[in-house]
Chain A
Amino acid sequence: MGPIIQYITSYLASDQTPGAAGNVFWMLVYIMLVFVGLSVAVIAMNWLERKILAHMQVRLGPMRVGPHGLLQPIADAIKLLLKEDIMPAEADGLIFWIAPFVVVLAAFTVFVVVPFGPTHAITDMNIGILFMLGVSSLSVLGIVMAGWASNSHYPLIGALRSSAQMVSYEVAMGLAVVSAVLMTSLNAEGTGTLSMIGIVQAQQAQGEWFIFKFFPLGLIAFFIFAVAMVAETNRAPFDLAEAESELTAGFHTEYSGFRWSLFFLAEYSAMIAVSSIAVTLWLGGWLRPFPNMLSGATWDQIFSFIPGATFLFFGAICFYNAVRMPKHPLFRIQTIGLFGFGVVLGLIGLVLCIPAVSVHIQDIFWFSAKIAAFMYLYIWYRGTFPRYRFDQLMQMGWKVLLPMGLGVLILTASVALLQQIWHL
């Protein structure tokens, strides 16, 4: 027992990620935490998307299942698990079976290098960003396999369109990423890094987020990536391949029940993954806002209360809505449920206010808050923009974003070179 406990506790004092320290136990713990966190995030996204989209369209969204529809995702999950598992008659059995797994595998493996904090990543490869781009491009293969194996016209066309779109916007994404990685090399040795943790530490060392660097070049690169990442994950306004009115759900038409929920899980995980790339590269990863404008111990103290304050705020909203529930006896369970949820959120907020806890939670909270902002933007785009036609989509990917990306890259390189020459 002694050596095992020694093995487990020896990592707690180190300042590396578990992968770099080689500690298998903590690697597994982190992997389980990321897994659970992702699943909770996908469930929350399901509820949030329906509610926020509904409120944007001046309606209420799911209100029946739990208080304000909070238990709706659970009902959806149970429904999907209980649906009949259909395989089309002439479908290619092996590929039909494998395709959802490939997409989910690609979407989840990406999270191995996502940095929630300076030591809060599963591992820190020194080709981190390259690994993320590569593995997320493997999900294209899963989509093509899914469309093919369904042995039907709509899925095949949907899959080919979807994969053509994803491959085209990967190019623009890559160029935007390169121009951000270029900014990491503006340090004393003149060498940059591809590792995700290294990129955030470069932003910390240079004292500003890369989105504001060489204004407006960082902003334009971020904009290119933000557009390309929405196209990469087949979300509105680029969701022609899976829109109901166009192709009856595209490549996942023939999938039902649990297999469809795997595609759904993979899509939302991919959304979170590319958002985490954007947050790491341009928005400073786990750094709190205003690192050098509002710096100093007092501002750090004030910012350290924000995680707890956020949860307390959400608890207060729950209480407010619970008080406003209709006073009908049939609503009693929902009112009690909402009060209970508010109490839980409030307790979490109080726990996060304790300095001992908030010191560890800071990085993870800021990273997750920025990703949550991106998720809200995704839902906002879906509620606001009309869909792109497929030829307009491809035209934009190749004729607009690619030249913009090249231009930003060349300008960033020249400005960085000029800065190195003049300030040396």
Chain B
Amino acid sequence: MLIGGIAVITRKNPVHSALALIVTLLAQASIYLMLYAPFVAGVQIILYAGGIMVLFLFVIMLVSIDRSIRERQFNSQWVVGMIAATALGGLFIAVYTKGTSIFPDRALPTVENDNTQKIATMLYGQYMFTFEIASLLLLVAIIGAVVMAKKRI
């Protein structure tokens, strides 16, 4: 995952960056598997790596690439970048050393066969309202995209 992430930001060719992002997302799916969340891993592969990244690649491939390869890479915000990176690194180290004692009631469950059923029960039972709001958000996004892309309304 780290190699994929580093490759995303360091490659000049945007197509190579997009492919490295796909590698990163697949690695993230395997991290989900290690956290005993098979449903999320499967859905991540279907939607993110197999759907969203394909659309990314469409756009990247239809845009002229010679210009972007020869674009000068600049680094003018390196001060803020260093501060943000040290803060994030400190956070990682803190979580790693403290261990699971930070989140005591969120310890990893054991491997269970009904992960999907439990997600479904929670999503359509307790979090039904949130689910409906998320679908409404997607509807707004779709309508916005169609309106922006149409020639005449």
Docked complex: A3-50 residues within 8 A CB-CB of B: none
Within 8 Å of chain A (Cβ to Cβ): is B90?
no
- Do the beta carbons of B19 and A145 come within 8 Å of each other? yes
Q: CB distance B42 to A191 under 8 Å?
A: no
Known: A95-B15, A126-B116, A127-B116. A140 touches B42 (CB 8 A): no
B113 close to chain A: CB less than 8 A: yes
Question: Which of A92, A95, A131, A167 is close to B42, meaning CB atoms less than 8 Å apart?
Answer: A131
Max chain B C-beta neighbours (<10 A), residue from A94, A127, A134, A167? A134
Pairwise interchain contact B50-A127, C-beta atoms closer than 8 A: no
Note all chain A residues with C-beta closer than 8 A to B39. Answer: 127, 130
The dominant DSSP class at the B interface is helix
Question: B50 near A141 (CB under 8 angstroms)?
Answer: yes
- Expressed in whole angstroms, the Cα–Cα distance for A137 and B43 within the complex equals 11
* Interface 9-mer from B53-61, B72-80, B101-109, B127-135: B53-61
- Asked whether, in the complex, the Cβ of B42 is within 8 Å of the Cβ of A130, the reply is yes
In the complex formed, the residue of B with least CB distance to A126 is B113
B58 touches A130 (CB 8 A): no
CB distance from B81 to the nearest CB of A (A): 28
How long is the Cα–Cα vector from A37 to B54 in the complex, in angstroms?
31
User: Of A138, A148, A164, A194, which contacts B15 at CB under 8 A?
Assistant: A148
- Residues of A in contact (CB 8 Å), total 27
CA distance A95 to B11 in the complex (A): 14
402-416 of chain A: CB within 8 A of chain B: none
Is A134 within 8 A of B50, CB to CB? yes
Number of B interface residues in the complex (CB < 8 A): 27
What's the nearest-Cβ distance from chain A to residue B142, in Å?
A: 12
Q: Contact at A141–B45, with CB atoms within 8 Å?
A: no
Q: Are B61 and A191 in contact (CB under 8 A)?
A: no
Known contacts A95-B15, A141-B57, A167-B51: A125-B38 contact under CB 8 Å: yes
Any A CB within 8 A of the CB of B22: yes
Known contacts A125-B38, A126-B38; is A138 also within 8 Å of B116 by CB? no
Is A312 located at the chain interface by the 8 A CB criterion? no
Q: Report the nearest B residue to A185, measured CB to CB.
A: B117
Task: Decide if A343 is an interface residue (CB 8 Å cutoff).
Answer: no
Name the contact of B114 in the complex, choosing from A137, A160, A191 (C-beta under 8 A).
A191
- 24 sample A-B contacts, Cβ–Cβ < 8 Å, listed by A number: A94-B16, A126-B38, A126-B114, A126-B115, A127-B38, A130-B42, A134-B45, A134-B46, A134-B50, A137-B46, A137-B50, A138-B45, A138-B49, A138-B50, A140-B50, A141-B19, A141-B22, A141-B50, A144-B54, A144-B61, A148-B57, A160-B62, A167-B51, A194-B116
Top 6 A-B residue pairs of the complex, sorted by shortest distance between their CB atoms: A137-B50, A134-B45, A130-B42, A134-B46, A127-B38, A127-B42
Report which B residues bind A (CB closer than 8 A): 13, 15-16, 19, 22, 38-39, 41-43, 45-46, 49-51, 53-55, 57-58, 61-62, 113-117
